[in-house]
A and B are shown apart, each in its own frame.
Chain A
Amino acid sequence: NAGVTQTPKFQVLKTGQSMTLQCAQDMNHNSMYWYRQDPGMGLRLIYYSASEGTTDKGEVPNGYNVSRLNKREFSLRLESAAPSQTSVYFCASSMGLQNTGELFFGEGSRLTVL
């Protein structure tokens, strides 16, 4: 069972370049999330999608866009990468509040912006 799959696992960009992080889950979950992790900051929510067709901003949305392509897929796009976006990015999913609220995480994507 694959769970939550993120691609790519590693990426190096130059300032101003664009890229998309892909995320897919095979657990039929309703909700999906993008977090970033920085040293000493914990995980901070960038965007989330409570259900197919809806997206909402989290704590740190500036510089990012998202697309909930279908129930399985939730992508994160950096239109013009900046060094401040160097981070580890995690995609997560959950069934929603029908269960006990647990989030299932992907393995993370390390992004470096030079």
Chain B
Amino acid sequence: AQTVTQSQPEMSVQEAETVTLSCTYDTSESDYYLFWYKQPPSRQMILVIRQEAYKQQNATENRFSVNFQKAAKSFSLKISDSQLGDAAMYFCAYRSAWFGNEKLTFGTGTRLTIIP
């Protein structure tokens, strides 16, 4: 079974600075998807960014980018120019690309605090 590990329960960053959230995963599969979801106090789960394992290029969405290291099974999220609205729980998630195994497995989350 796949596992996802987020080793940082809490992180904090000064507003406008850059922060990196860590995620590692364990799998024997070669094809899969990785995601970062954001959960603000409203409780809504919001997709931040996705990465297909077959793509070597790291995904980027505005101020959010990932560092995907397939051999190391590492998938970190970098938030640049942090804003107060970035304060939230962030969850890393893994999904197999094999048909019939379409479950999302989540890490335990990292709570990000933005310091004004």
Contacts and interface: CB of A to CB of B under 8 A. Distances in A.
Interface of A: 31, 33, 35, 40-45, 48, 50, 58, 88, 90, 92, 94, 96-97, 100-103, 105, 107-108
A45 B104 contact: yes
Given A100-B50, A107-B43, A94 B102 contact: yes
A53 B68 CA distance: 37
Contacts of B35: 101-102
A50 to B, nearest CB: 6
Given A42-B109, A100-B33, A101-B33, A88 B43 contact: yes
Nearest to B92: A42
Contacts of B104: 33, 43, 45, 92, 101, 103
B92 to A, nearest CB: 9
27 contacts: A31-B102, A40-B9, A42-B4, A42-B106, A43-B91, A44-B106, A45-B103, A45-B104, A48-B102, A48-B103, A50-B100, A88-B43, A92-B104, A97-B97, A97-B98, A97-B99, A100-B33, A100-B52, A101-B33, A101-B102, A102-B35, A102-B47, A102-B50, A103-B104, A105-B44, A108-B43, A108-B44
